[in-house]
Amino acid sequence: MDLSFPPIYLLKSHFERNLDELHKLETQIDVVFDITEAKLVLGKVNSKARAQYDLRTLGLFTKEVEKDKRTRPIITIDEGERSHPTKRRKAGKNGSPKAIIVIDSSTASEPETESESKSRRPAAITASPTSTVDSRRRGSNSRRDHLEHHGDTIKVLKLSWYTDSLASGKLLPIDDYLVYEGKILDQPKDKNLTPNKAPITSSIVSSARIDAPNSRNYFHKRRRTQSESQAIQSNSHPSLLPESTMEKEEVDNLPPVPDSLLTKYSCERPTPVHSPNDAFVSQLRIIKKARILAGGTHAHSPRAYGAAIATILAYPYTLTTTHELLRLPNCGPKFATLFQEWKDTGRIKEVEEIQQDEKLKCLGIFYEIFDVGEHTAREFYRKGWRDLEDVIEHGWSTLTRTQQIGVKYYDDFLMRIPREEVEKIGNIVLDHANKLRPGFQMVICGGYRRGKVDSGDVDIIMSHPDEESTAYFLEDLLFALEKSKYIRHTLKLSTRNSDRYQNPVSWKGGERRKGGFDTLDHMFVDWQDQDLPIMDDDMERDPDAVNPNPHRRVDVIISPWKTAGCAVLGWTGATFFERHLREYCRQKLGYKFDSSGVRKVQDGSWVDLEKGPGDLLAKEKRLFEGLGLTWREPTERCTD
């Protein structure tokens, strides 16, 4: 046993069914967790295609070396992409080990195809567009090959090489165990399929120059933000699916990107709407929702999932390994396990079970009723109800008024609202406001402002440069809109701010100038457009009775000018952006933030971070500065 094996990297693929075996090997073998540090890589791979694929997911892009006329012919999987810069570093570090050996642990020749077919489904999808590009790139690749030819090669061996060597007490020649040998390609210049290249390069080089997690982080974001993210998104499916082997087209498998030290606060980083890992994230969302509905012991589980999701959404590259995932904040072993399963099998057992769970289905239905949360949903279920019919039949009178409205317009409220309609509603509200008191400014926040193609509701923030104009204005506005028939029901009304504003004193004794911004005047209403499509005269006569327009949920917030920036900031970000923003302010700044203002945690004194000229957006920008945050476009606050 004094055999001295070179550093070995163990491929996790195909071990998912047998983690014990994997762990055993890990302890038994001198494994390293970064392939760039390995001389050997073990993995359950037994076809060239698979081997190459696995390498690629690890960030090593290779091209098969044919000289090695291994008797086992296998389709040459052409096009390796670029290699991973880090690899080079490694090589240098280790002197010049010209070869990295990958050992295929799949002992005999297990039906690798099996696993492949398993998750092949998406392959097809990818195939087409990408493959084209692929072949094209191939050409350039080979060219590049000559140029940057390093001489480094990767060899994939069967695991038996290890066991046999152990048995014989010496390192056996690898020839008979070789599954695949590929030349490591250097970073390709083709940006097209190699979104990572840049970042990687930067990360490596950066250590020499500026670096700083932030800068790199920023860089990442930039790249993805553009068309690229979309492109990637479109084929994210395939790429995520491990074994689309046949068609080596799984083009965009990104090399692991050295991670930047991501802060755990999502308000400190950009989070675009789309992520290369959307497919995986959607799986997590399902589990998260199930955790919410399940309640009980899973108390903070949803929060954990939400944080992990927010983090992954901000990661601009397609995740390839658990190692890569584990570097991210809020992503621990649990998520690594889920990712591994998803990556290897294309699905997650727990998710499938959730989707078949009848109880969860019922809870999900109730949960979508406006003003019914997880607790109430469970309560409904406990009462034996299983669908809306039951609720209406057996419990209508027990519902709160708001819930009744929620049930009545269940389908409408679930309907998405296209951007044009959101804008239309916003303008109607603004018009009514200005008709009452000219000079109001409005910003439609929520998902609309974050750029979503449609919204679940409409969040309208209004303010007026003249502090006095916003006092007690909400009710006037509400009345006017009701008169116009737009507002059919008031789901929630709060004029606390104005009330307090009126008598700022009388509370905590003294004059404690806290000012009237503890809460914003706010109304949440059931809205219905009054423009009727062309109809017969009958309807014209009695529009109300037949107005076919869907009911919408509209939030209208009136904010005093002095804290309007907070209102806009507080109503724009996705949930986690907002939660983290609060945590960040409290923990790092000692400030208490909410949409009605910023105060010191200690004495509760108001802190004005947005004072200055300009409109609402200018105030919001100053707020970022005042809070020590880098400005983020609304579209970069999509933390989900």
Is 303 a residue that touches DNA (CB under 7 A)? yes
374 binds DNA (CB under 7 A): yes
Tokens of 502: 């009126």
Contacts of 526 (CB under 8 A, 6+ apart): 405, 409, 487, 488, 489, 490, 491, 551, 552, 553, 554
Site string for DNA, 445-464 (x = CB under 7 A): -x----------x-x-----
495 binds DNA (CB under 7 A): yes
CA dist 575 → 335, 520, 569, 638, 640 (Å): 21, 19, 12, 9, 6
DSSP symbol at 191: -
In whole angstroms, what is the distance from residue 290 CA to residue 338 CA? 15
Selection from 528, 520, 445 nearest residue 481 by Cα: 528
When binding is defined by CB under 7 A, the residue of 578, 610, 620, 640 that contacts DNA is 578
3-state SS of 247-311?
Answer: HCCCCCCCCCCCCCCCCCCHHHCCECCCCCCHHHHHHHHHHHHHHHHHCHHHCCHHHHHHHHHHH
Binding segment (CB under 7 A) for DNA, from list 99-107, 117-125, 196-204, 331-339: 331-339
- Residue 153, C-beta contacts closer than 8 angstroms, at least 6 positions apart: 62, 65, 98, 99, 100, 181, 182, 183, 184
Interaction pattern, residues 516-555, with DNA; x per rule: CB under 7 A: --xx----x----------------------------x-x
Residue 388 sits in the site that holds DNA (CB under 7 A)? no
CB of 497 to DNA, least distance (A): 8
Helix (H) / strand (E) element for 59: namely none
Query: For residues 174 and 331, which CB has a smaller minimum distance to DNA in the complex?
Result: 331
Q: Residue 583, exposed/middle/buried by CB under 10 A (0-12, 13-18, 19+)?
A: middle
Q: How far is the CB of 211 from DNA (least distance, A)?
A: 20
Q: Between 327 and 347, whose beta carbon lies closer to DNA? A: 327
Check binding of 563 to DNA (CB under 7 A).
no
Q: Work out whether 192 is an interface residue with DNA (CB under 7 A).
A: no
Q: Which is nearer to DNA, 101 or 481 (CB)?
A: 481
- Site membership for DNA, residue 299 (CB under 7 A): yes
Measured CA to CA, the distance from residue 11 to residue 8 in angstroms comes to 10
**From CA 238, how far away is CA 120, in angstroms rounded?**
9
CB of 417 to DNA, least distance (A): 12
Q: Is 590 in the site for DNA (CB under 7 A)?
A: no
The correct pick among 61, 486, 571, 577 for binding DNA (CB under 7 A) is 571
Q: Is 635 exposed, middle or buried (0-12, 13-18, 19+ CB in 10 A)?
A: middle
Edge-to-edge, what's the strand order for the sheet holding 597-600? 591-594, 597-600, 606-607
For 394, phi then psi, to 5°, come to -100, -15
Nearer to DNA, 291 or 432 (CB): 291
Residue 161 one-letter amino acid:
W
Out of 12, 579, 619, 622, the only residue in the binding site for DNA (CB under 7 A) is 579
Minimum separation from the CB atom of position 371 to DNA (A): 4
User: Nearer to DNA by C-beta: 318 or 596?
Assistant: 596
Map tokens 């492109």 to a residue: 231
Looking at 15-23, 110-118, 139-147, 371-379, which segment touches DNA (CB under 7 A)? Answer: 371-379
Report the residue number, 127 or 331, with the smaller CB distance to DNA.
331
Please tell me whether residue 377 binds DNA under the rule CB under 7 A.
yes
Taking the alpha carbons of 532, 408, 558, 582 in that order, is the dihedral positive or negative? negative
Query: Of 17, 149, 349, 401, which one interacts with DNA (CB under 7 A)?
Result: 401
Strand partners, 40: 8, 101
Contact 561, 465 (CB under 8 A): yes
Q: Which of 315, 335, 342, 385 binds DNA (CB under 7 A)?
A: 335
CA distance 425 to 529: 8
Binding-site string for DNA from residue 218 to residue 257, where x marks contact by CB under 7 A and - marks none:
----------------------------------------
Task: Considering the complex, state which of residue 212 and residue 601 has its C-beta at the smaller distance from DNA.
Answer: 601
Contacts of residue 450, Cβ cutoff 8 Å, sequence gap at least 6? 273, 572, 573, 574, 634, 635, 637, 638
Closest CA to 233 of 278, 300, 282: 278
Contact 265, 221 (CB under 8 A): no
605 lies in the binding site for DNA (CB under 7 A)? no
Strands 62-64 and 597-600: unpaired
| CA–CA gap between residue 45 and residue 9 (Å, rounded) | 13
- Which residue among 376, 441, 549, 630 contacts DNA (CB under 7 A)? 376
Options 197-205, 242-250, 592-600, 618-626: segment touching DNA (CB under 7 A): 592-600
CB of 106 vs DNA, minimal distance in Å: 29
**Binding to DNA by residue 586, rule CB under 7 A?**
yes
Our finding on whether 410 is near DNA (CB under 7 A) is: no
Residue 483 contacts by C-beta under 8 Å, 6 or more apart in sequence?
none
Residues 38, 123, 257, 372: which binds DNA (CB under 7 A)? 372
Verify binding: residue 268, DNA, rule CB under 7 A. no
Query: Shortest gap between Cβ of 463 and DNA (angstroms)?
Result: 16
Nearer to DNA, 124 or 299 (CB): 299
**Pick from 45, 286, 308, 417: which binds DNA (CB under 7 A)?**
308
Q: Which stretch binds DNA (CB under 7 A): 30-38, 368-376, 476-484, 526-534?
A: 368-376
How far is residue 119's CA from residue 116's CA, in Å, rounded to a whole number?
6
Asked if 383 touches DNA (CB under 7 A), the answer is no
**Between 83 and 404, whose beta carbon lies closer to DNA?**
404
User: Closer CB to DNA, residue 170 or residue 586?
Assistant: 586
Determine the interface stretch with DNA among 18-26, 38-46, 329-337, 480-488 (rule: CB under 7 A).
329-337
CB of residue 571 vs DNA: minimum separation in angstroms? 6
Q: Which residues bind DNA (CB under 7 A)?
A: 264, 287, 291, 298-301, 303-305, 307-308, 329-336, 370-377, 398, 400-402, 446, 457, 459, 492-496, 518-519, 524, 553, 555, 571, 575, 578-579, 582-583, 586, 592, 594, 596
